[in-house]
Amino acid sequence: MSAPVNSQILKILENLAIVDSYAESEILKAELLRDSPPIFKVTPANVDEVIARRSQILRAIYPQVLEVQASSQIANSLIPTLWYIWIPLAMHLAEQYQWQPIIQGILGGQGTGKTTMTKFLKLILIEMGYVCVNLSLDDLYKTYKEREEIKKLDPEIQWRGVPSTHDLQLGIDTLDQLCSDRSFWEIPRFDKSAHSGAGDRTNPEIIFTKPQIILFEGWFVGIRPVDPDLINSYDFTEESDRQFVLKMNTKLQDYLPLWQKLDSLWLLLPEDYRDSLQWRRSAEHKLTNGMSDGEITKFVHYFWRSLPPEIFIAPQRQSADLVIEINSDHGITKLSSPLGLDRSCH
């Protein structure tokens, strides 16, 4: 995931990441005032303060950014995305914190960059002095034994990930206890390598400081059931596919109490959802024991078949608090706030 930027601005930002220098701040000021999305509220009155604060954060986290970039085999510079997207979004979350934990939902399909985004938001917020934790929808999977029982009862549920494969009470209880006063807090974790890749729950992460900001991400976090008539009017290749989607739509009803815990929802929206297939392939090719291209195709199509993006993601474009549009090169092309990013989280 990256933000497009010209070579002159990139050079200035790379310099800012290393040294405390404002020699060319006028260029940055003009550029921010001209192009910064309205949701970040950059004005002539505060632009100097914005540049100073973003620069301070960028320099502080830059060594860790280089480590993550190397370990994740990310070729393009992350500095523009940090400067234009992730740092200002983290600053926004920090502004919203009012002594009660914020639960920020992040919705994004396969390969959209939600995990990477969550990782850097957490890094930035911790650098800013906030106690930030991350929770993935994947961490809420039912145990291996429970999912094997599901497969026996419903042969269509062959892989984890689709509605009905998560322990929803575990999710609700986790978010409730993360927002309560305790001596310690537990965050469930899931080991995807267990049982030859089928995965199983592992020991929870234990923390001893109450979280202030909770980043909750997943491929259908916040997705709600749609009118069955919308599904029935959709052109499916096979009638069995329609019936499967209707079943998954019904299962989504069970997730509503969990989604109600969210204070707001951000949507990572590809120009074409089919790009996620290539993104997933690229990610798997970097792994030592990654899936084959054929396995990836089957895996990704399984998710598309369960909750077709045209039916379930499209409505989120109008209801999400923030929409982050992504092109086929993983570049962020637009940020918009259909409901207004300024609304109070509590």
Give every residue of the chain whose pLDDT is below 50, as ranges: 342-346
Residues 219/115, Cβ–Cβ less than 8 Å: no
Per-residue tokens: 16: 């800012």
pLDDT value of position 139:
97
The phi, psi pair for 260, rounded to 5°, reads -65, -15
Comparing C-alpha atoms, which of 114, 74, 65, 122 is closest to residue 283?
74
For residue range 283-305, list pLDDT tens digits in order: 777 766 667 888 888 888 899 99
pLDDT value of position 345:
30
Domain ranges for the chain: 1-80, 97-336
Exposure string (b/e) for 75-86, b if CB count within 10 Å is 16 or more?
A: eebbbbbbbbbb
CATH class of the domain at 97-336: alpha beta
pLDDT value of position 290:
67
pLDDT value of position 21:
63
Query: Rounded CA gap, 120 and 329, in Å?
Result: 19
pLDDT value of position 279:
83
Question: pTM for this one?
Answer: 0.92
